[in-house]
Amino acid sequence: MISGILIVLGGLGLFLLGMVVMTGGLKSLAGDAFRRALARFTKSPLSGAVTGSIVTAVIQSSSVTTVTAVGFVGAGLLSFSQALGIIFGANIGTTATGWFVAILGFKLQIGEVALPLILVGVLMHLFMMRRASAAGLALAGFGLIFVGISSLQQGMAGLEGIVTPTSLPSDTLGGRLLLVLIGIGMTLITQSSSAGIATAMTALHAHTITFAQAAAMVIGMDIGTTVTALMASSGGSTDARCTALAHVVYNLLTGTVAFLFLTPYMWMWNAVNPDPAHNNPEIGLVAFHTLFNVLGVSLILPITGQFAQVITGLVPERRDRFTERLDRSFYASPAIAIEAVFATLNALALVVFERLIAILERGPSADSDVTLSEANEALKRTRDYLEPVDTSADYGILYPKHVSSLHTIDHLRRLIDRCAETDRAERARRETDLTPFGAQLRSALDEAVARFGQPKDEPSAEKLKQIWQHFDSHAERYRQALIEDSASGRLDAYATIGKLDTLRWLRRVAYHVWRIVHHLERIQIDSAVQPAEDIPPHQEQDLANL
């Protein structure tokens, strides 16, 4: 008995290791594509459900999909209702693991064939580069899964006659509820519903548990898988916590439907299967798992809006005006952390631009001062948040976005400092010969604010650059004219210095507006090929200090 238990535990460990290795390899093989797919193809709860199920089936991890969805909501990339579709679909996608384990592990018995796959996969990972290396890791994990299944079968066979259906709670209402709790506990321990379902399938195949017992445990495992997303949302934004809670509530509701559906399903399975105890019971179990998840999604999708409203009402509001998206749990996924920073900087830039327009048109106000002070503090928190983010592993895509985020923070900070120079803004409004430059600056700001309502892929930094260059060239001629007027005595030195000072202020503000929009657009770029930087970093610093 002890030997059988040890083999079962070892087989479960191999299965879990295989899942971790395979999922890691598949994630590396896909790169950032699966995250982009979630964000790009999720336009509604229905499309989110389809995308979530496909992505989960591909990367073999519902936890990764749901945690990513929670992160995207926290980063402002998806709305709460859109993320709900992804979570619904992830529950369907995760059933794919059960199907290929049932077919390949039990029907085809590929445990021995899987052993050479591990060697081939490891060699690919060690001696090949990039995608081939990631594919090798996925292949090795795939092999480990079936070696684990083979060990589980061997261990369960050793327990036959020792562990029997009578060792577990009986097939009564109370017994089934207790089995659901056991299933939840197994998922909490293993942090993988797939591992728990594979164990239940193996025990069912070895006749150590009945179909009803295995099905009740699978319901519990489906509920238990929500804990990972709940933990990922801890301390996060309100929308992120709503998403995680929705996952828990939805899986509880689906589990309730499955619990009520279990007896009718067993009647149907017995009707179509003359010997359900010995004729593909594991196929019947994974079919039950798939069916109740599909049924749950079918019932919830038409009322997603109402469901979202209920969940929102259950989560207390806890909003930081600017930095609520900066969830430290995103550090585990630098891509999501950078997206959260982008959403934060986007919001800050819009507020600062709008306040600057108001200052140029009407002058400073107490409201503007308070808002800009809040924005400045938010920038400091954003800079602190970025400090631990490590993008060195993705030098082609994430690292340039990281750098542009830091540039944006710097330019926004300098722009806020310029807004505090109210005497220069007042002179720009009062002096008639400076009014055209103020009008050009407001045009640049209007262009920048309009950018926030444009489609994601429509650039506007180039237009702002042209405005700044036009402004800069005219400002230089004006500067020369002022100096000549001062030298000839037509303008006193004090007025000349004041106007030149205001002119420099206008140039700096226009420059910062252009560079802020430029770097925000660079952060949005999805492709690995970054556009050539038209101003080297050291020159950008010099220009900012003009």
C-alpha 331/C-alpha 336 separation (Å) is: 8
pLDDT value, residue 96 = 86
pLDDT value, residue 404 = 92
The distance in angstroms from the start CA to the end CA of the chain is 80
Q: What is the DSSP string of 487-522?
A: HHTSS-HHHHHHHHHHHHHHHHHHHHHHHHHHHHHH
Helices (H) and strands (E) in the chain, counts: 23, 0
For residue 317, give the DSSP letter: P
pLDDT string in tens for the chain (546-residue length): 677 678 878 887 887 788 778 877 776 766 666 667 777 778 788 888 888 888 888 777 776 777 777 777 766 667 777 788 888 888 898 888 888 778 876 666 666 677 888 888 899 988 888 778 888 888 888 888 878 877 877 777 666 555 556 677 877 888 889 999 988 888 877 767 777 788 888 888 777 888 888 899 999 988 887 776 677 566 566 766 787 788 888 889 999 989 998 989 988 888 877 665 556 788 888 899 999 999 989 989 888 888 888 888 887 665 566 787 787 777 877 888 888 898 889 889 988 988 888 888 877 676 666 788 888 888 988 998 888 888 887 767 788 899 999 999 999 999 998 888 888 888 888 878 778 877 877 877 887 787 665 544 445 677 778 777 877 777 777 878 888 878 888 878 778 788 888 888 888 888 898 899 889 888 876 433 344 345 555 455 545 554
The count of residues in the chain is 546
Question: Which one, of 478, 497, 494, lies nearest residue 432 by Cα?
Answer: 478
C-alpha 177/C-alpha 219 separation (Å) is: 10
C-alpha 386/C-alpha 383 separation (Å) is: 5
What are the chain's domains? 2-314 (no CATH), 328-544 (1.20.58.220)
C-alpha 122/C-alpha 135 separation (Å) is: 10
Question: Which one, of 211, 225, 286, lies nearest residue 255 by Cα?
Answer: 225
